[in-house]
Every structure is written in C-alpha cells, then in structure tokens.
Amino acid sequence: MALLSISEPGQSTPKAHAVKKRAVGIDLGTTNSLVAVASEGHAHTLCDHEDHCLVPSVVHYAADGKVTVGYDAALKGVDDSANTISSVKRLMGRGFEDIHYDLPYEIEANENGGMPLIKTAAGKKSPVEVSAEILKSLVLRGEEEFGDELDGAVITVPAYFDEAQRQATKDAAKLAGIKVLRLLGEPTAAAIAYGLDRKQEETVIIYDLGGGTFDVSLMRLERGVFKVLATGGDAALGGDDLDRTVIQWILAEAGIEDDLSYSQLNALARIARHAKHALSDADSTVVSFEHWSGTLSREQFNNLIDSHIDKTIKACRRVLRDAKVELSEISDVVMVGGSTRTPRVRERVSEFFGAEVHTEIDPDKVVAVGAALQADVLAGNKYGDDILLLDVIPLSLGIETMGGLMEKIIPRNTTIPVARAQQFTTYKDGQSVMSLHVLQGERELVSDCRSLAKFELRDIPPMVAGAAIIEVTYQVDADGLMEVHARELSTGIASSVVVKPSYGLEDRDIEKMITDSYAAAASDKDARSLQENKVEAQRIIESLQSALALDGKNLLSDEEYAELSEGIEKLHIIIDSADSDAIHQASESLNEASLVFAGRRMNTQIKTALAGHSIEEVER
C-alpha cells in the first residue's frame, strides 16, 4: 500500500520466489501475431501441432456465430473474404473517416463516434472485439503451455502508436480477459531480446519493417537501462507495399488494365510475395499470372522497392535529428519484421548507418521473444539484474486554443510517465462551464491533429471573470495512456474529472461486452466485490504492519504510532463482517491515516537510495 511498500518491492509479491508466475509476451501484429514464454532469461515462441509459430492476424465470423482465428480463418478467407477480418490492427483507435483504402470486408461509421464497425455474418464487430479474438487464441496457446491460467501478459505495440491506438489495444486485452503487465514498444522488446544493454553505453537503432508498418527507434542502452530517445516511422508502410510494387509491375508487364476480382487480387498478392521471397536468395525468378509469364531480376526488384526504402531512410534521419544524435554514434542496428529479410533493405540500411546490423534472431520472432523476457520479469520471476525501461511519448499532446490552433502541453519524445499541469481562468463573470479539447499530433491546426477527448468542466464556482483558477493536469502513464484531471484552485473546491479518450471504449462498454458473453449473475458480482475488499483490507494491514515494524519507532511519535495500531485493530474486526462497503470505507480511512507516515518513509527512502547504496541493496 501507498509508499509503505516502496522500500521493499520484493515483499509486495511475497510468493514470487515460491511459485513461478505464468506470464507470456504477445506480439499483436498487423499481419501475424505470436506468443512467447520465458524462463531464467531464455525465451521461445509457442507453436501449434503443425509447428506454425506465427498466427495470422485473421478472424473469420460464420453466420452461426462460430469464430475462427489464424490459419483456418485465412483459409476461409479465400472463399468468404467479406466475413474474414485481416489487418484489423490498422483500424484500432482510428475513425471511419481515417480509412482511405479498400478493405475486403465492409465497415461502417459508428454512430456514437469512435472506431468503425465491421459488418460480418455474425453481426457488427468493433476492431477491439476482433483483436480480442486474436488475443484469446494466443492466450490459449500460453495456457496449454503452462497447463493453467495465465497471471499476465506483456503486449507489444508499435512505438508509433498514439494514445487512441494504445487504449484500443489495452481494451482488447481487457475484453480477452488478460491482465496487461505492460504495453511495451515493439522496438524496446527487440532490444531486450538481443540483450544489447549488457555492454557499455550504446546508441542503437531498431529498424522495424513489418507487413504493414514501419517503425524506427533510437535507443540508448546501458547496463539494464533501456531508454528510448526518439521514435518515428510510417504507420502505413511495410512489406505489403513492397508486394504491391511487384503486383503493379506484373500488371504493367502483362498489360492488364481491367478491374480484377478479389480472388484474382489475392492470387496476385500471393505471387508477388513468393517472388519477393525467392529474390532473397536467387538473382532472378520466374513470375506467372494466369496466361502471362515473365522474369523478374533482383536488380529490377531493387529498383522497384527503392523509393519505399528511401522513405524509411528519411524517417531514420528524422529520429537522429530529433534525438540530436550523430550518425557516427550509432553502434548497432537491430532488424525487426519479416521485410528486413529482403537483401536490398539490409544493404541500404547497413550502407546508411555504417554500423553492425543484427539479424541473428528471427526478425519475425524477436519482438515476441523480448516481450516474453520482460513479462517474466514484470510478473515477479527474478532471475538476475532487473532491467528498467524508460519509454517516451511518440506524439505531442496538447489542447485546442483560440482560432483552432493546437497548443502543445507535452512535446513528443518526453519520457513517460509524465504529468503536466496547466492553469486556465474564466473570461466571463459568473462563468460556470469551460470546455477543453485534448489533441494529439505535431501539426499546428486542430483539424490536422487527432482529437482524443472533448469535455466540459462544470460547476465552476461563480466569480468575476479571471478570478476562478482551474488547474488541468494531463497524466500519461508508463503504457502511454492518458488521463485528464481538473480542479478549481482559488476556492479550494477540488472537483476532479477523469477523461477517457473518445476512441477508447468506456469501461461500461467493456463490462457490457464481457457480461454479454458470459452473462454473469449479479450475486456473483457482489460476492466478488466483498472478496476483493477483504483482500485489499488484508493487504493494507499487512504492509502497514511491516512498515510499522521497520520504521514506526523512528518516524512516528508515540501518539501517531498508537493511532495507526488502533486503526489496524479496527479494520481487523470489520473484515470479519460481511459488509463490503464498511470494509472498503475502513480500509480507505486507514490508508488516509497512514499517508503522513508514507510521506516520511518516502523522504527517508530517497535519501537512503541516494546515499550511495546500490539499487540491489535498496531492494533487499
């Protein structure tokens, strides 16, 4: 509880050493997804009976409500593309108006705003629900491996993902019933997999060219600390674009100008992909489509894709500049994503950076492997030195100001978690409402940025213009998710609102989705709440008791000590009642009463930490 547990993180998970926690790392990709587990610093991906480790990120919905995921779903897609949902990651946290490309399935605008709905034979599905299906199938693999339920998962997201996309990912996990230990940036996961932090200070580039997204991150690594200095990339550039250049080449060479059917386009995509893969080893390959046949040389292919690679190099230059790092400082480049198997990509990247290019770990699996290693550590299975991940916010957060302009409050590449406060005042006498519009993006015009949330501060005490002072705090957590709190300062009336971004699902939506699928009985819920409150109360008592034993005599007066001891006694008695609310209230008030003690321990703690003791000592 509170800071009381800060000095002994090991004690907050007392069972960590006794029972192995079951945690997995999940790479929820645009084209393919993977799940991996780790133990003692070694990780491996989980495969099915046919040794398929990649799970195509494809979900098929049948009219009878049957849901199929992965290879089987992709197979059904051949004949039933309208009910086969692929690349759903591109819809996560996006609005209907953001989708400017054709999809093999039908989507429609959500009348309540937010993400579009996908029309399937089994009804309308949100991208969050579809992603949850993929997650469930990955979790199942994990549960089969452990033979038991999972304690938690680390799920990776592109570093480039904005708040709305991260929130949607977390919502999908919640819907799938997964405890998210952390949303981890894909590049950070890749760096963890390579263990590049074990060397002296290094500045590395993570170059991730996947099926549908390109991400580049600049990281500084030093003995256990992973710090993202800057990220960039292109959310709509990947291996699919390389395939498309080949498709266009085929169409041009074969002189095909007619509109093609979906099955023809599917066939072309397969042919293009085969040609691309063949050219990774061969100097040329024969390409055939229907009655036409031709030869594509590697040189021709390289010329076709160079303009796409140029875009990635440009993004690399951008992150170097953002982080104020010279090209010569880069010591290693980590290659991630299937598209980095293309020799031309490796060649150009190595040429540009002039640094060692790592491809030792399968570029399709490296992210899941890193996520699993981190999941194992976060779940409490310690096997050595802890690593520390310091992430940054990929896009600036700000608010709308007069004239439709965006004012940045938290600039991009700021280390998270971060909190920034801003003060506003009223401009009319007696004004009781003020509206705020929270945005994310780099452009100056509000219309060019992503709208995250619009909300109104109500019940501002009536005062003359300029007298009310409203402090708005923007808090971004370690997962890159934001909450906004507001309170009026001058009167001391602190009204506080928490705002969930409009693209995230409301908690009640998620609860509804969960109850819809499980139809939980109300009495179950009450019993659960009583149980939860009891556990919470017990936890508070235990941590306060151990804190009192350690520091109570040094940091508290006799009176204060007696007061807290009495509070513990009271809570003990109330726990045995079956009154959920009373237990909750007594827990709250004991926690309140211990805040001063916690504050003093924090000060002592920080001073001790800084007095030259090593981190290891502090933890023990």
Partner 1 sequence: MIETTLNHFELFSLPVSFQVEEAVLDQEYKKLQAVVHPDRFVDADDRTRLQALQQTSMVNDAYETLKSPLKRSAYLLKLHDIDAEEHNQAHLQEEFLLQQLEMREALETLIDSDDVEGLDALKKTVNREKSATLELFESHFLRKDFTAAKSNYNQLQFLFKLLDEIDKAEEKLLDY
Angle between helices 558-575 and 522-547 (to 10 degrees): 150
Write the CA distances from 196 to 1, 319, 355, 358, 384, integer angstroms: 35, 20, 14, 11, 16
3-state helix, strand, coil in the chain (%, to 5): 45, 25, 30
Write the CA distances from 229 to 392, 416, 441, integer angstroms: 7, 11, 18
Whether 27 sits among the annotated catalytic residues: the reply is: yes
From 9-17, 140-148, 449-457, 550-558, span contacting partner 1 (CB under 8 A): 9-17
Nearer to partner 1, 172 or 598 (CB): 598
Q: Show contacts with partner 1 in window 422-481 (CB under 8 A).
A: 475, 477-478
Question: In terms of Cα–Cα distance, which of 137, 141, 108, 113 is closest to 123?
Answer: 108
Nearer to partner 1, 107 or 548 (CB): 548
For 340, residues 6+ apart whose C-beta sits below 8 A from its C-beta are 207, 208, 209, 346, 349, 359, 363
Catalytic residue among 129, 151, 208, 391: 208
Both structure tokens of 428: 């009319």
Whether 89 sits among the annotated catalytic residues: the reply is: yes
Q: Strand 434-440 vs strand 418-425: parallel, antiparallel, or unpaired?
A: unpaired
As beta bridge partners, residue 210 has none
Q: With binding defined as CB under 8 A, does residue 529 bind partner 1?
A: no
Whether 579 sits among the annotated catalytic residues: the reply is: no
Q: With binding defined as CB under 8 A, does residue 104 bind partner 1?
A: no
Of 299, 347, 360, 386, which lies in the binding site for partner 1, with binding defined by CB under 8 A?
Answer: 386
Q: With binding defined as CB under 8 A, does residue 20 bind partner 1?
A: no
CB 296 within 8 A of CB 284: yes
- Provide the minimum distance between the beta carbon of 614 and partner 1 in the complex, in angstroms, as a whole number: 8
Angle between helices 580-593 and 522-547 (to 10 degrees): 30
Q: With binding defined as CB under 8 A, does residue 152 bind partner 1?
A: yes
Q: Show contacts with partner 1 in window 299-328 (CB under 8 A).
A: 314, 317-318, 321
Task: Check the CA dihedral 94-95-97-99 and report its sign.
Answer: positive
Distance CA 360, CA 401 (A): 49
From 295-303, 415-423, 454-462, 501-509, span contacting partner 1 (CB under 8 A): 415-423
Q: Strand 356-358 vs strand 330-336: parallel, antiparallel, or unpaired?
A: parallel
CB 138 within 8 A of CB 33: yes
- Provide the minimum distance between the beta carbon of 197 and partner 1 in the complex, in angstroms, as a whole number: 12
- Provide the minimum distance between the beta carbon of 543 and partner 1 in the complex, in angstroms, as a whole number: 8
Distance CA 141, CA 59 (A): 16
As beta bridge partners, residue 474 has 420, 484
Query: What is the pattern of x (binds partner 1, CB under 8 A) and - over residues 34-73?
Result: ----------------------------------------
Q: Show contacts with partner 1 in window 474-503 (CB under 8 A).
A: 475, 477-478
Cα 323 versus chain centre, distance = 22
Both structure tokens of 604: 């002592």
Of 159, 379, 460, 486, which lies in the binding site for partner 1, with binding defined by CB under 8 A?
Answer: 379
Q: With binding defined as CB under 8 A, does residue 2 bind partner 1?
A: yes
Nearer to partner 1, 2 or 115 (CB): 2
> SS3 for 114?
coil
Distance CA 244, CA 402 (A): 43
Catalytic residue among 27, 163, 240, 400: 27
CB 369 within 8 A of CB 354: no
> At residue 584, what is the residue type?
H
Q: Show contacts with partner 1 in window 173-192 (CB under 8 A).
A: 181-182
Q: With binding defined as CB under 8 A, does residue 418 bind partner 1?
A: yes
From 53-61, 271-279, 416-424, 490-498, span contacting partner 1 (CB under 8 A): 416-424
Q: With binding defined as CB under 8 A, does residue 13 bind partner 1?
A: yes
- Provide the minimum distance between the beta carbon of 474 and partner 1 in the complex, in angstroms, as a whole number: 10
Catalytic residue among 89, 125, 170, 534: 89
Of 464, 465, 520, 595, which lies in the binding site for partner 1, with binding defined by CB under 8 A?
Answer: 595
Nearer to partner 1, 346 or 539 (CB): 539
Question: In terms of Cα–Cα distance, which of 42, 21, 44 is closest to 365?
Answer: 44
Catalytic residue among 186, 234, 240, 364: 186
Q: With binding defined as CB under 8 A, does residue 378 bind partner 1?
A: yes
Whether 163 sits among the annotated catalytic residues: the reply is: no
Site of interaction with partner 1 (CB under 8 A)? 1-3, 5-6, 9, 12-13, 152, 181-182, 225, 314, 317-318, 321, 378-380, 386, 388-390, 414-419, 475, 477-478, 536, 539-540, 591, 595, 598-599, 602-603, 605-606, 609-610, 615, 618
- Residues annotated as catalytic are 27, 89, 186, 208
